[in-house]
Amino acid sequence: MFTGLTPELCAQAWDLVRPAIFRAADTRVIRGAVGDLVVLDPARRDGTVLWTGSIGDTETKTYGYAVAKAKVAERTGVDTSRLRTDQPHLYTAGDIVYPGGIVRHGLVVAFSGVEGEADEMIAEWFVSAVRGVARLAFAGPHGPDARGIRHIGE
């Protein structure tokens, strides 16, 4: 039964993204396959973390940075890279200034662990995977379309 964004759906999407991170590190596009990913709960819009994923030997600070990036992106509604260049007036005291948090299709996702631009790229990959997995599940044999239901979770 399809119920929208869940930790299980996030884990499935993360499993699709992890090999791309390893490949990017192996080909030296990014400096390594290490970091933490944070997904905020789109149903709450209060900074609540719905799901986290990690890759490699992460440090405690990378998780904290990812959470901070996600919260700034959620509060401003702006990717943290664009905030730096286009809308720095939206920063408030205590906000993290590193790129890596994005707002896409109703989702707020952040990654921290490699270069800021690469952090944002990884967050983009993850959102794309979430959307693809969710759309396939929605239209699949157990999804609302195939079952003819009117409300999610029936």
Residue type, 121: M
Sign (positive or negative) of CA dihedral 114, 102, 14, 68: positive
pTM of structure? 0.93
Sign (positive or negative) of CA dihedral 34, 133, 8, 99: positive
Domain membership of residue 1 (yes or no) is no
Percentage of the residues of the chain whose pLDDT score is greater than 70: 99
Domain membership of residue 101 (yes or no) is yes
Alpha-carbon Rg for the chain, nearest whole angstrom, is 16
Beta bridge partners of 109: 39, 102
18 contacts: CB under 8 Å, gap ≥ 6: 55
Domain membership of residue 129 (yes or no) is yes
pLDDT digits (tens, 9 = 90+) for 52-100: 999 999 989 999 999 999 999 999 999 999 999 999 999 999 999 999 9
Domain membership of residue 142 (yes or no) is yes
Beta-carbon count within 10 A of 148 CB: 7
Largest CA distance in the chain: 50
pLDDT of residue 15: 98
Domain membership of residue 152 (yes or no) is no
- 120 — pLDDT class (breaks 50, 70, 90): very high
Spatial separation of the C-alpha atoms in residues 12 and 30, rounded to whole Å:
23
Q: β-strands 35-40, 49-55: how paired? A: antiparallel
Spatial separation of the C-alpha atoms in residues 147 and 154, rounded to whole Å:
10
Q: How many domains does the chain have?
A: 1
Q: Containing domain of residue 50, as a range?
A: 7-147
Domain membership of residue 73 (yes or no) is yes
Domain membership of residue 141 (yes or no) is yes
| CATH number of 142's domain | 3.30.450.150
The yes-or-no verdict on residue 142 having pLDDT over 90 is no
Domain membership of residue 21 (yes or no) is yes
Beta bridge partners of 40: 49
Percentage of the residues of the chain whose pLDDT score is greater than 90: 84
The 3-state DSSP composition of the chain as helix, strand, coil percent (nearest 5) reads 50, 15, 35
CA distance to 72, 113, 116, per residue, from 98 (Å): 10, 11, 6
